[in-house]
Amino acid sequence: MGFYDRDIDITRNIKIIEWLKSELLTDLADLNKALVNGIREEVHESVTESLSNIILEAYLLGRRLGINYSAIENRIHRKIKLGLVEEHDIEKYYGDLTELSKHLKSVR
């Protein structure tokens, strides 16, 4: 790869990173708008759409920043374990971390 090609690749990567960041912000805004409307059946679909976009964009942004998918997933698993050990409020009151841990283990 020549010097010129490398510059184009770096520029393209920067543009993709900026695009992903703006998509994340847009989806966060969309999520907030949907939540303002309250959780109703028709809002459920837009909340699900926004959350799935945010997760996907976070993975892709991590990859563009040189973080592989496994590293992200390993960090998520460590955070879940830490939340379980420290009895985080979301676990204590709702058991969400246990449920998420079970879900992630079942899809592996």
23: exposed, middle or buried (Cβ count in 10 Å: 0-12, 13-18, 19+):
middle
pLDDT per residue as tens digits for the range 50-76:
999 999 999 999 999 999 999 999 999
Same domain (yes/no): 80, 42: no
> 46 near 30, Cβ under 8 Å?
yes
74 and 43 belong to one structural domain:
no
Residue 84: which domain range? 68-108
* Each residue's pLDDT expressed in tens, for the chain with a length of 108 residues: 566 677 788 999 999 999 999 999 999 999 999 888 776 667 888 899 999 999 999 999 999 999 999 999 999 999 999 999 999 999 999 999 999 999 999 987
Residue 39 DSSP class: S
- Are residue 77 and residue 93 in the same domain, yes or no? yes
Q: What angle do CA 69, 70, 75 make, to 5 degrees?
A: 100
Q: Provide φ and ψ at 2, rounded to 5°.
A: -75, 170
Domain total in the chain: 2
Tell me what pLDDT residue 14 has.
95
Region of 67 on the Ramachandran plot (φ > 0 left; ψ -120 to 50 alpha; else beta): beta
Query: Are 59 and 85 contained in the same domain?
Result: no
Statement to judge: residues 63 and 79 lie in one domain: no
Compute the distance between CA of residue 53 and CA of residue 44 in angstroms, rounded to an integer: 14
E strand or H helix at 92, and its extent?
helix 89-94
90 shares its domain with 105: yes
